Amino acid sequence: MFILPNNVTIIEVGPRDGLQNEKKHVEESDKLAFIDALQGAGIQEMELTSFVSPKWVPQMADAKMIVEKSKKVGRQFVLAPNEKGAQLAIEAGAHSIAVFVGVSNTFNMKNINRSTDESIDALEPVFAKLKMDGIFIRACISTAFYCPYEGKIEIQNVVALCKRFVAMGADELSVADTIGMANPRESYELFKTLKEELPDVLLTAHFHDTRKMAMANIFASLQAGIDRFDTSAGGLGGCPFAPGATGNVATEDVVNMLDSLGIKTGVDVKKVCEAVQVIAPHVSRPIDTAMYSLFENSQL
Ligand code: HMG
Ligand code: MG
């Protein structure tokens, strides 16, 4: 029989991953309304925004305002690729910071203009300072399965990068299928290995849904003992420097599946669907509203 947890934590990444690659400018007030609606749905952990170069990712240029003006609910992450980003995040009042590095060197160069080793080396003193300040650190591990430039990634390279981050003091690892290429067997194998090799760190799975295997990958990861998932309301998302990748797995789909399995998330799927309606008019990407229609005018 399946091994399933009683509870799963959903980390909503819609306001960050969901909007960073959006072609249309999204107003700060619309982002705040989206964040507010997601908080109203019971989301307790969320990636709000990124402190990155506005020249590289214009959509995140309002990061300071988003942190300052959003309601403080649960754990709120902001992304920072380097010392400058971390410093700006702290100045804006962030208590939890997510750094991001790719296992694949080529992807990392395209994403943050440094090799993987250079990025980690530069982050080491930043981690030391953040730890002294009591900041919770999430390390996002990109291209943990496949890279759009280098192809298949070896498990031992993912494990090595994760171990380095844990040794530096990461509180959480969010391990990502950046371009949505993983299959359930690969997901199970990687997360089972990471659980065995790093039993004392919070482990989260982050699946993009390019090939529509993200739900299957989540089910496989549950079998490997994972009980934390990054998801994005409306299935929005994608990294501007990972060509071909589509959105993240949709929060409403994941919560609905977990609900139906009797796994508690504390998230109200109907209200997530309402949050999707809040952001839908402001993004150019079509959103699959099948789940919304299911709950609209229904007692389900
Ligand atoms: P660079 O050009 O090498 O930066 O870019 P630099 O250090 O040479 O500095 C150049 C200028 O940028 C300077 O300003 C710096 O002050 C400024 P100037 O003197 O020219 O006026 N700068 C910054 N400004 C604001 N915030 C900062 C910052 N750092 C330097 N933090 C850099 C390097 C990292 C800045 C750039 O490559 C960048 O911003 N990249 C961000 C890429 C990104 O956001 N990608 C998406 C997020 S990751 C993701 O989506 C994957 C994930 O979802 C997991 C998965 O699915 O895989 C997490
Ligand atoms: Mg992502």
What's the CATH code of the domain at 281?
A: 3.20.20.70
Return the pLDDT at 299.
61
Q: Is the dihedral of CA 40, 77, 216, 277 positive or negative?
A: positive
> If you measure from the C-alpha of residue 52 to the centroid of ligand 1, how many angstroms do you get, rounded to a whole number?
4
The answer to the question of residue 189 being in a domain is yes
Closest residue by Cα to atom 43, ligand 1, is 111
Q: Which ligand is closest to the CA of 61, given by its number?
A: 1
Helices (H), 143-283: 155-168, 184-197, 214-223, 251-260, 269-279
What pLDDT is stored for residue 300 in this prediction? 57
How remote is the CA of residue 201 from the centroid of ligand 1, in Å? 27
State pLDDT tens for residues 94-106.
Answer: 999 999 999 999 9
The alpha carbon torsion through 7, 37, 64, 203 (nearest 10 deg) reads 10
Identify whether 162 is a catalytic site residue: no
Q: Which two tokens stand for residue 139?
A: 């390390």
Ligand 1 within 6 A of CB of 289: no
Task: Give DSSP secondary structure letters for 52-111.
Answer: --TTT-GGGTTHHHHHHHS---SEEEEE-SSHHHHHHHHHHT-SEEEEEEESSHHHHHHH
Inside any domain, residue 1: no
Choice from 21, 49, 53 to test ligand 1 binding pocket (greatest atom count within 8 A of CB): 53
Domain range holding 56? Answer: 9-296
Domain membership of residue 254 (yes or no) is yes
In a domain, 42, yes or no: yes
- Among all bound ligands, the one having the nearest atom to the CA of 111 is 1
In this structure, what are the phi and psi dihedrals at residue 18, rounded to the nearest 5 degrees?
-65, -35
Ligand nearest to the CA of 175: 1
- Give the residues of the chain that fall short of pLDDT 50: none
CA of 204 to the centre of ligand 2 (A): 12
Whether residue 240 lies inside any domain: the answer is yes
When divided into structural domains, the chain yields a total of 1
What's the pLDDT score for residue 77?
Answer: 98
- Any domain includes 4: no
Vertex 105: Cα angle to 139 and 200 (nearest 5): 30
Residues 129-169: tens digit of each pLDDT:
999 999 999 999 999 999 999 999 999 999 999 999 999 99
Residue with the nearest Cα to atom 56 of ligand 1?
178
Q: Which residue puts its alpha carbon closest to atom 37 of ligand 1? A: 112
> Is position 167 within any domain?
yes
Residue 107 CB-density burial (10 A; 0-12 exposed, 13-18 middle, 19+ buried)? buried
Instruction: For residue 35, tell me if it sits in a domain.
Output: yes
